[in-house]
Amino acid sequence: MKKPLILVTNDDGITAPGIRSLVEVAKKFGEVVVVAPDSPQSGMGHAVTLTKPLRLHKTDIFEGVDSYECSGTPVDCVKIAVDKVLHRKPDLCLSGVNHGSNSSINIIYSGTMSAAVEAALEGIPSIGFSLCDFSYEADFSVAQYAAEQIVKQVLHYGLANNTLLNVNVPKVSKEELKGIRICRQAMAKWEEEFDERQDPHGRHYFWLTGKFVNNDKGEDTDEWALANNFISVVPVQYDLTAHHGINYINQNWDL
C-alpha cells in the first residue's frame, strides 16, 4: 500500500515547537509536507488574504521533510499547499499542535482549527490538535501520544462525511492522563474586556482581553473532558444552517 501524503500546518508559525512535535508523529504514518505561516497567526479564524499577494518559500527546518513558509493565514496555507505545492489533495491534513486550548467556542477564532476546517471542506480528512498550555517550552509528549492514537484511527476507520476533528490535550503528564473522550463542543463564550491605555502621544488604544465563561455543565462536553484529565475529541461540521431556526421562522413569522 502506498504511504499516505500528509499535509501539516498550524497557526503559531512554522518555527513553533508545536508543529515540530506534530511533524514527528506524522512521519510515522506517511510522506509529510509542511506548508505553514511564516509568522504567528493566532486568532485569525477563517481569514483569507484577498487584498495582497502571497509569498511562498521553501525552508529546510524539518529534517527529511519538504517544508514551505507562506506569508498568508492558516487557511491560505492549506489552499496554496493543495494548488501550488502538492498539486493534488493530500490524504490527510494535520493542523497544530497549537500552543493553547481550542476547545469549545475557541474553535471559531482559531487559525489552527480554521486550517483544518478548510481542508475538510475541500474533501481532505483533517484533524486539528491543541495543547492546553500556551508556553513556548510546553511538553508536547502527551499531545504526540494523542496524535498518534487518533491519526491511526482516522487512517484506519475514517470519519463521518463532511466532518473533521478538534482534538484538545490537557496539560497533564502521561500518568495523570485518564484517556480519550469523544465529546460535543461546550456552549461557553468569552466575555470581552478591553484594556484601555494611552500611548506616549496621549492617544487612547485598546488591548483585547477577556474572561472565558462556561455555563454548560454537561459531562459530554470538551470542557468537562479536559477538566477531568481526558483528551477531548470533538467531531466538527461546517454546515452552519440552524435547521431548528428554519422551523421557528416558518411557525412564527408573518412574511
Amino acid at 93: C
Q: ∠ at Cα 38 (35, 42), nearest 5°?
A: 95
**Which lies closer to a second copy via its Cβ, residue 23 or residue 132?**
132
Rounded distance between C-alpha atoms, residue 191 and residue 78, angstroms: 31
Coil vs helix vs strand at 67:
strand
Torsion angle of C-alpha atoms 184, 190, 191, 195, degrees rounded to 10? 170
* CB 251, min distance to a second copy, A: 10
> Residue 229 corresponds to which cell in the numbers above?
484529565
The closest alpha carbon to 77, from 44, 106, 28, 30, belongs to 44
**Which lies closer to a second copy via its Cβ, residue 23 or residue 99?**
99
* CB 69, min distance to a second copy, A: 13
**Which lies closer to a second copy via its Cβ, residue 141 or residue 158?**
158
**Which lies closer to a second copy via its Cβ, residue 23 or residue 34?**
34
The closest alpha carbon to 113, from 224, 219, 12, belongs to 12
Sign of the torsion angle spanned by Cα atoms 14, 15, 21, 26: positive
Q: How many CB atoms lie within 10 A of CB 140?
A: 24
**Which lies closer to a second copy via its Cβ, residue 4 or residue 45?**
45
* CB 59, min distance to a second copy, A: 15
Residue entry with cell 483533517: 126
Phi, psi (5° rounding) for residue 253?
-80, 160
* CB 133, min distance to a second copy, A: 17
* CB 244, min distance to a second copy, A: 5
* CB 46, min distance to a second copy, A: 3
**Which lies closer to a second copy via its Cβ, residue 8 or residue 124?**
124
